Structure 1
């Protein structure tokens, strides 16, 4: 019999690093390194998509002694400098996923930014003007990227648990609390399809600052909204969420 071990994930999102945040996260990252084995940061790493903000985060991450994985969020795309932000953070030993997959501590991780489009029977369809079709196609493309990454994990490591990292939500439940009028811009049910198809253990996202901490997809996948404001509203004593996985 193979003896199973336990791995603790720490997850957060929407940290919106500013130039004034130098030194703000050092203690937190040191604490996370003592309590968890892997840190996940699910988008909006910077506040205005500036590479100088990314450098502040890169310097703060020096206090982290465990592997750090993440995805970019919409704020990181604001100035069109997402490639430079990605490069800076990867040079700081942070692994950023955009359709890629990695295995750490016998757990598979796949990540994409995701996109909007709405949920369930109110999900936007590929119909109408070219601009509307392009909007929906973006969500389709993100879903396909996630599915391909999870498929690689499934084929190469069929027995290990799989974790999905997103910025946009794959389910409606974790964005409830936000105005219903903006639900189509907070996520898409299209992102949930790969989670079900590839039997993902859990998914983490951010983006919906006034949403709910956790929910369950129609296919039974646990989904956690770890946006920093959500963690604070949930009366969390720490600005991160811990999940223990037996693997």
Structure 2
């Protein structure tokens, strides 16, 4: 299966069919399109409606997760509804199967990487922040447990490894992802992980147990010179 990975569309209310041509191109190159969050810029209903119009140009299945920008305007339920009605299979701690390939996804969350990962200690707001990251990892784990053996693609918005955020200012690394996500994925047989969020990060890396990770943010330079990346699964 040819899977196209794309993230960080950041559709705005002033855009006019910003991705119609690109989606048509992807339909001719891939079997499935995956969208790894920040589909809208401010999470508004109008932005979601503009993207929904362009999704109609796809002739292949499209699977995705939301990102932090999609939550900005507190309209996430309505935004999700619009995108689902337009054909997007939106994953939120859930999975779907297409031609014997399982797609498992959740937004993920921040928290930092390796020995610099934030721990649940001190003030209540810190504990709440860490708890959110733990909860997202648990949602991902539960979804992976429900997947039967076979080919598995994991979709995230936040990065699971530090390698694919390299290039961003080090000061913001803790807000770009968390090793908790990679630790969770490492308990399962997974073929590839796709994410976005780090606009100035690196294109590829691997988890500690060798699973390929691709930063599919639209702004990242990719081998084929296109805003998306094609993966054979």
TM-score with structure 2 setting the length: 0.98
> Structure 2, unaligned stretches of length 5 or more?
none
Determine if contact 1:12/1:241 at 8 Å carries over to the other structure: yes
User: Per-residue CA shift, 1:114-145, capped at 9, x if unaligned?
Assistant: 00000000001111111000000000000000
CA shift for structure 1 position 102: 0.6
Matches within 5 A, 1:48-127: 48-127=42-121
1:148 maps to what in 2?
Answer: 142
- Report matched runs for 1:209-228 at 5 Å: 209-228=199-218
What does residue 4 of structure 1 align with?
none
Distance in 1, matches of 2:17 and 2:223, equals 24
Asked whether the equivalents of residues 204 and 224 of structure 1 are also in contact (C-alpha less than 8 Å), the reply is: yes
Matched, 1:130 2:124: yes
CA deviations on 1:180-223 (whole Å, 9 max, x unpaired) are: 11011000000012211012111000000010000001111111
Q: Per-residue CA shift, 1:3-37, capped at 9, x if unaligned?
A: xxxx0000110010112322221111111111100
Q: Which of 182, 195, 200 is the matching residue for 2:185?
A: 195
**TM-aligned CA distance change 1:215 to 1:50, over 3 Å:** same
Question: Which contiguous aligned blocks of 4+ residues in structure 1 show a shift greater than 2 angstroms?
Answer: 233-237
Residue 179 (structure 1) aligned to one of 129, 153, 169: 169
CA distance in 1, matches of 2:173, 2:103: 26
Paired positions, count: 233
Which residue matches 1:45?
Answer: 39
Q: Please list the CA deviations of residues 39-65 of structure 1 after superposition, one character each: whole Å capped at 9, or x if unmatched.
A: 000000001111100000000000001
RMSD (Å), alpha carbons: 0.9
1:236 deviates by 4.2
What stretches of structure 1 of length at least 5 have no aligned partner? 1-6
Partner of 2:25: 31
Deviation for aligned residue 1:237: 2.5
CA distance, structure 1, for counterparts of residue 167 and residue 226 of structure 2: 21
Q: SS of the counterpart of 2:92?
A: coil
Instruction: Find the residue that maps to 2:146 and give its secondary structure.
Output: helix
Q: Which residue number in structure 2 is paired with residue 3 of structure 1? A: none
TM-score, with length taken from structure 1: 0.92
Q: For residues 235 and 95 of structure 1, what CA distance do their matches in structure 2 show?
A: 27
Question: 1:240 — aligned with what?
Answer: 228
Q: Over residues 76-133 of structure 1, what are the superposed CA-to-partner deviations in whole Å (9 max), with x where a residue is unaligned?
A: 0001111111000000110110011111011011100000000000001111111000
Are 2:158 and 1:168 aligned? yes
